[in-house]
Structures are given as structure tokens and as C-alpha cells.
Amino acid sequence: MNQNPNFTSVQTFALVAMRLLIGWHFLYEGVIKLYSPSWTAKGYLLSATYMQSFFQWLASESMISVVDTLNIAALILVGIGLIVGFKTKWVSVVGIGLLLLYYFAHPPFPGYAQGPSEGSYWLVNKNLIEAAALLVVFLFPTEYAFGIGRLFMKKKMEPAHQLN
């Protein structure tokens, strides 16, 4: 499983496990929203406590169906990409972008009312923590240790290997 000689198998396993767990979270959130016909991000966006004009624009009648569709699609694609280990750098960037949007809609900043969150934090919440974890996934591409990316790596390496 370990493709990087600088990491132990346990370190590689931990990075892959983190990638899989974050992938599961994204996929689950996307699928739940997809199969909930009444789900919309409108209430969350309209209750934004920071950058209100931007989030109100996203919640407008002309934008909300596009925002809902893109949100669901991005959650599912990021989740699948992380779980199967394909294009993990790309999906990590998309996931970080989504999480930062969620973070800035309801940031745990002093003096701002807390919106729909799972607790009262000061500066740091689960969205920021998961974005930081995705940054680690971006920096340590584990798809070559465990994932579909490993198949593509071997195909690229085989022709060069055969010449020697």
C-alpha cells in the first residue's frame, strides 16, 4: 500500500483513511440532498451572517436552482473522487472551495450571530477543520498508494520501465 518510501505504512494508511472518511462525508451529504426533493440551500444562504449580499444573491430566484444543483453535484463528485482515489488534487480543491463557502456563510467570528451550526465555536468550526484536512489530502496525493490513480501511474511507468 505504501508507494512513498518516506512514509511508513501506518502513516500512509492514516492519510488514506482520512481521504476515505472525508469522501464518505461528502458523498453522503450529496446523496441525502439529491434524494430529498424538498431540500434547498435557500434557507442556509438567506440566514448568512457574513457576506450577506453575496449569499442572498446566490439564494435569489434566478440562482437558487443552479446553486442547489451545483452543490449536490460537487458534493457527490468530490465524495466519489476521494473514495475511489481519482483526481484527488482536483476534487480536494473543489471540496475546499465548498467548505470555505459554508464557513463564510456562517463563520464563528466574534460579534456575529451563529447560524445553523453544531456548536458555538470561536474562529474554528467543522467546515474549517475539514477544509484543512482536505488541504492535507491535496498535499499528499494518496491516490497512488490506494486508489484508481495507482492504475494510471503504473501505465505511465511501464513503457519507460520496459525501455531499460
pLDDT of residue 159: 46
pLDDT of residue 118: 65
pLDDT of residue 116: 60
| Pairs from 57-66 (Cβ < 8 Å, separation ≥ 24) | 64/40
pLDDT of residue 142: 85
pLDDT of residue 138: 95
| pTM for the predicted model, two decimal places | 0.83
Retrieve residue 137's grid coordinates: 489530502
Q: Write the DSSP assignment of the chain as a string of letters.
A: ----TTS-HHHHHHHHHHHHHHHHHHHHHHHHHHT-TT--SHHHHHT-SSSHHHHHHHTSTTTHHHHHHHHHHHHHHHHHHHHHTSSHHHHHHHHHHHHHHHHHHS---TTS---S-SS--SS--HHHHHHHHHHHHHHS-GGGTSSTHHHHHHHHHHHHHHH-
Amino acid at 118: E
Is the dihedral angle over the CA atoms 76, 36, 29, 93 positive or is it negative?
A: positive
Spatial separation of the C-alpha atoms in residues 56 and 47, rounded to whole Å: 8
Spatial separation of the C-alpha atoms in residues 146 and 150, rounded to whole Å: 7
pLDDT of residue 161: 44
Task: Spell out the per-residue pLDDT of the chain, length 164, in tens.
Answer: 555 557 788 988 999 999 999 999 999 999 999 999 999 999 999 999 899 999 999 999 999 999 999 999 999 999 999 999 989 999 999 999 999 999 999 888 887 776 666 666 788 889 999 999 999 999 987 887 777 766 666 555 444 444 44
